[in-house]
A = this chain, B = another copy of it.
C-alpha cells in the first residue's frame, strides 16, 4: 500500500535513483565487526564508502562527504575522538547507538553526540528506549522490545534533535516531529547476518546526500526490506543469504520499491 503525502520530498524510488546518480562519498565510523559488509553494501547500492576514523582526519573527511555514519559498536578511544570531529563538520549524519544502555562508555558518548543534532538516529527498540532514557537497553546488540513500544521514545528523541528517528524491527518505524512511516516486509534472515542493521544505518547516511532525513531513512528501510526478501527467496542459509543480499542491492531497480511505505503526516 502506498500512502505518499505531499510532505515527502522524494519517494524511495526517487531517492535510490538520485543516490546512483550522485554516488555520494559516505564516511563510516563504524565497528570492527561490520566494516567490510558495510562497505560492500554501500558499493552494491551505488554509493562510495570510506572509513576514515582517526583523529586529525575524520573531521576533514566528514567535511567532503555527502553523509556520515557514527556507529558505536566497538568505540575505541581514537574512534570516539574521531566521531566528535566528524559530527562537528556540518555534514548531515546518522547516529547508530549500538548496545547503549548497559554499557557506560558508549552510552555517555551517544548522549553527548545528541547535542550535535544527528539527522537520523537508527537503532532497535531497546537502543532507542535506552537512548531516550526510558529503557534499560537490550541484551547487547539484541532488541528485547518491539518497535511499537519505542514509538513515544523515538518521537521524544526526534523532537529533541530536530531530526528523524528510525526504529528497526519486524516492521520498521520512522518518525520525525510530525510524521510517522512504517515499512514492513523484509526477511528474518537479515537478523542472522552480522551488520544487517549497521549497514542499514550506513545506507541512510549515503541517502542523506540526496534526500531529506525522513525520506532517506524511509528509503533505506524500503530498500532493505525488498532486497532482503529477494535474497531470501533464493538462498538456503545465512551465508548464502548475505552474498545474495549484496547482489540484490546492486540489482535493485527503483520500481521495485513502490508500495513499500505506509506514511502518515499527523501522529
Contact = CB atoms under 8 A, between A and B. Distances in A.
Interface stretch (A112-120, A160-168, A172-180, A236-244): A236-244
Contacts of A242: 40, 239, 243, 246
Contacts of A225: none
Contact of A64 (B33, B57, B102, B245): B102
A31 interface: yes
A134 interface: no
A75 interface: yes
In the assembly, how many copies of this chain are there? 3
16 contacts: A33-B36, A36-B36, A36-B37, A36-B194, A39-B195, A48-B140, A51-B73, A52-B140, A53-B74, A54-B75, A60-B104, A76-B76, A237-B247, A239-B242, A239-B244, A239-B246
Interface of A: 25, 31-37, 39-40, 43-44, 48-54, 56-57, 60-61, 64-65, 73-78, 99, 102-106, 139-142, 192-195, 236-240, 242-251
